[in-house]
């Protein structure tokens, strides 16, 4: 079985207010994006990795990854204005004999090998696999008129990555015209007509978007 992963890393660090894009910031001494790439190689040393970055970040990546990522480990793909276009560009580069492909956020370096393995295994059996967790807090829905009401938190799921699919299904789904409702790959594949298969995710598999997230990731990596 030939596996691939598209790692999307188009962040500009705006929410952190840094001049360095967040995916290149160090966590426990190693750039976030390098840790993410290495986690997938730990899962499968033969996996093909396609890294979707803004063209202006290619040289930055080559510089920061040099001590950690061997040359040729990743295929660089020019990202688009929206995540949808970054994934679509990468899918056009994925080898045609690929059986199964995952899409992962570059700033989720804490994903466990167990979660990755389960997602690929389940997707091979069922066509797709999308990790999720239940929210720990109570949830309320706010209506357009400003009123609000409670929701059953057991019926609400927080979606994570990697989202994994049969390659042919994902590539065909990405022929659909873009809409702003395409917030992730599952929403694209669902629009294509496929039922989404949710699997258990991991609470530590956070998306690093704030300094609080970065500090939490730093603590967890140093703890290990």
**Which residues, 6+ apart, have CB-to-CB distance to 88 below 8 Å?**
80, 174
Give the pLDDT score at 20.
Answer: 75
Give the pLDDT score at 17.
Answer: 53
Tell me how many domains the chain contains.
1
CATH number for position 217: 3.90.550.10
Of 98, 115, 100, 89, which is closest to residue 205 (Cα–Cα)? 115
Strand 3-8 relative to strand 26-27: parallel, antiparallel, unpaired? unpaired
Which residue stretches of the chain have pLDDT < 70?
11-19, 224
Gap between the Cα atoms of 116 and 133, Å rounded: 15
Backbone angles phi and psi of 59, in degrees to 5: -70, -35
Give the pLDDT score at 10.
Answer: 81
Enumerate the β-bridge partners of residue 5: 49, 102
Give the pLDDT score at 16.
Answer: 53
Of 36, 200, 37, 186, which is closest to residue 122 (Cα–Cα)? 200
Gap between the Cα atoms of 46 and 55, Å rounded: 26
Quote the pTM value. Answer: 0.94
Task: Domain of residue 190: give its range.
Answer: 3-223
Angle at the Cα of 136 from the Cα atoms of 130 and 142, rounded to 5 degrees:
90
């Amino acid at each position: 079985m030939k596996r691939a992963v598209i790692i999307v890393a188009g962040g500009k660090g705006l929410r952190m207010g840094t001049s360095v894009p967040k995916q290149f910031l160090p966590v426990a001494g190693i750039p976030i994006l390098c840790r993410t790439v290495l986690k997938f190689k730990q899962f499968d040393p033969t996996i093909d990795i396609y890294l979707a970055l803004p063209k202006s970040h290619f040289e930055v990546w080559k510089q920061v990854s040099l001590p950690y990522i061997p040359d040729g480990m990743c295929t660089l793909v020019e990202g688009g204005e929206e995540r949808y276009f970054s994934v679509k560009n990468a899918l056009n580069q994925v080898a045609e004999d690929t059986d199964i492909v995952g899409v992962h956020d570059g700033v989720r370096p804490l994903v466990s090998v167990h979660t990755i393995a389960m997602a690929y295994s389940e997707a091979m059996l069922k066509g797709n696999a999308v990790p999720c967790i239940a929210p720990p807090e109570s949830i309320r829905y706010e209506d357009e008129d400003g009123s609000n009401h409670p929701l059953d938190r057991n019926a609400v799921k927080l979606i994570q990555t990697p989202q994994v699919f049969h390659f042919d299904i994902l590539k065909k789904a990405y022929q659909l015209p873009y809409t702003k409702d395409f917030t992730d790959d599952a929403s694209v594949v669902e629009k294509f007509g496929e039922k989404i298969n949710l699997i258990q995710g991991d609470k530590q598999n956070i998306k690093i978007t704030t300094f609080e997230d970065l500090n939490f990731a730093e603590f967890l990596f140093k703890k290990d």
